[in-house]
Structure 1
Amino acid sequence: MHFILKSFEELNAHQLYAILQLREEVFIIEQNVVYKDLDDKDQKAKHLLGFYEDKLVAYARLIPDGISYPDFTSFGRVVVAPKLRNTKFGILLMQEVMQKIELLYPEMPIKISAQSYLIPFYEKFGFVVNSAEYIEDHLPHTEMVKK
């Protein structure tokens, strides 16, 4: 898998379509949740695209501090194509996310809203639970931080 990192303005129409298609496939169709995916954060985010055999199979958006949380950078919309789960692509994606965040926002603490079932996954990358469980977009979430 190889990665590219782009600002919103640098994405071409085909890349943006592939991102939205992958996010829709997982977060709306697979998880059976109707929610507002287009939340005005994409324009301010950096977009990390993971390609395998010339197809977008992994994605995350990196969000500067102050957009999602005051005094914290963040990331979200972390997704791997369903057919490629359990192949370590999620780990590769998160390693790249952490590396890029450190380059873009050095020494900034990170806060995320994690789907609660993924707490053990994010703990592997140094995140700790920072809140009680809450419902976001009809799914259980938990705030996590890494300092």
Structure 2
Amino acid sequence: MLDIKVKSFKEFDIEELYDVLRLRSEIFVVEQDCVYQDIDGKDSKAIHIIGYKNKTVVAYTRIFKAGDYFDQASIGRVAVQEDYRKFGYGKVIMKASITAVQEHFNENEIKISAQKYLTQFYTDLGFKSTGEEYLEDGIPHIAMMKK
């Protein structure tokens, strides 16, 4: 089972922040071979959903209220450490994130910018593709909405 914690940016301790940034860098920069600015100045506005297994950060997302990232509430930086993906932790962290959007922002409409190859994963969670495919940091993406 994944232990989920929901925190504002100010609630992070230095070790947790380091672990989250390490996980994001490991996946979005190294694994996906994508040079981009992960530390984008938006973390202080986000609520952070952190998944722990045996006190180790293995899954993560950040959520935003409507207007802070997109016009709608949103979920982003969805990350699960490679060795833990086989356990379904991606769906666990996303379901926790959807719940957090509802509880923290009283919103049901959620927008994501999904990597194209994960369309079915997000469809299974109730998201629907909107618009055309586009490149974000050199990776094919598609906008998706959950209402």
Q: Normalization by structure 2: what TM-score?
A: 0.96
Kindly indicate whether the alpha-carbon contact (under 8 Å) linking 1:47 and 1:60 is maintained by their aligned counterparts in 2. Answer: yes
Report the identity percentage: 40
Q: Relative to total residues, which structure has the larger helix share, 1 or 2?
A: 2
Q: CA deviation at 1:25?
A: 0.4
Q: Which moved more, 1:28-37 or 1:85-94?
A: 85-94
What is the Cα deviation at residue 69 of structure 1?
1.2
Question: Quick check: 1:92 aligned with 2:92?
Answer: yes
Instruction: List structure 1 runs of 4+ shifted beyond 6 angstroms.
Output: none
Letter in 2 for 1:140: P
**Cα distance in structure 1, aligned partners of 2:85 and 2:126:** 22
- For residues 42 and 143 of structure 1, what CA distance do their matches in structure 2 show? 21
* Mapping 1:107-146, distance limit 5 Å: 107-146=107-146
Distance in 1 between residues matched to 2:65 and 2:107, nearest whole Å: 12
Q: Aligned Cα RMSD in Å?
A: 0.9
Following the alignment from structure 1 to structure 2, what is the Cα–Cα distance between the partners of residues 123 and 24?
Answer: 26
Cα offsets for 1:14-68 (capped at 9, x unmatched): 0100000000000000000000111111010001110001100000001111011
Number of aligned residues? 146
Do residues 17 (structure 1) and 18 (structure 2) align? Answer: yes
- What residue number does 2:47 align with? 46
Residue 79 of structure 2 aligns with which residue?
79
SS in 2 for 1:36: coil
Per the normalisation by structure 1, the TM-score is: 0.96
What is the correspondence of 1:34-73 to structure 2 with a 5 Å cutoff?
34-70=35-71, 72-73=72-73
Contact 1:41/1:63, CA 8 A, preserved across alignment: no
1:108 deviation in Å?
4.1
Name stretches of at least 5 consecutive residues in structure 1 with no aligned partner: none
Aligned residue for 1:76, secondary structure, equals strand
- CA deviation profile, 1:104-147 (whole Å, cap 9, x unmatched): 12234111100001110111111110110000011000000112
